[in-house]
Amino acid sequence: MNELRVKSILAGVAFGIWPIFMNQSGFSGNFGSLMFTLVILCVIAPFSLGQSVDLSKANWLMLVGAGGTSAFGLLSFNGMLVKADQQNFGSLFLTMIIVQSATPVLYDMFMNGWPSVIRGLGMVLALVAIVLLTI
């Protein structure tokens, strides 16, 4: 297994676990998002500050777009997490994962045209899963 696959698996495990902790944190959605972001900043900063970066080559518009959409998503997600009870937490979380997974496929379809029949079927099945999870 290559390094990128291992990192992908580790990210999936971490992204699957942190919402469970956040759901149990007792913070409100917005304040919880702020505290969460501060913890992330404290953890990531030591790994980032020693790197040399040419800021003149960065695409700042894409960075602002990424940060803005991520902030909106975090506020929405944490707002959902703090109000979700144990009975519907799993289905709400899975709905978010399915929509999150389908988004790059939709982007790919927009950029490169309709995908193969298999990928199209996958999109239909993802929509069916969302419906079945919310019943």
pLDDT at 76: 93
Q: Does the pLDDT at position 115 exceed 70?
A: no
pLDDT in tens, 29-52: 899 999 999 999 999 999 888 888
pLDDT in tens, 6-24: 998 899 899 889 988 988 8
Q: Within its chain, how far is the Cα of 48 from the centroid?
A: 21
C-alpha to C-alpha distance for 64 and 79, rounded to whole angstroms? 22
Helices (H) and strands (E) in the chain, counts: 5, 0
pLDDT at 45: 93
C-alpha to C-alpha distance for 124 and 3, rounded to whole angstroms? 32
pLDDT at 86: 82
Q: Which residues, including other chains, have CB under 8 Å from residue 108's CB and lie 6 or more apart? A: 115
Tokens of 104: 């790059």
The CA angle 114-99-29, to the nearest 5 degrees, is: 155
Angle between helices 3-23 and 60-83 (to 10 degrees): 40
C-alpha to C-alpha distance for 68 and 55, rounded to whole angstroms? 19
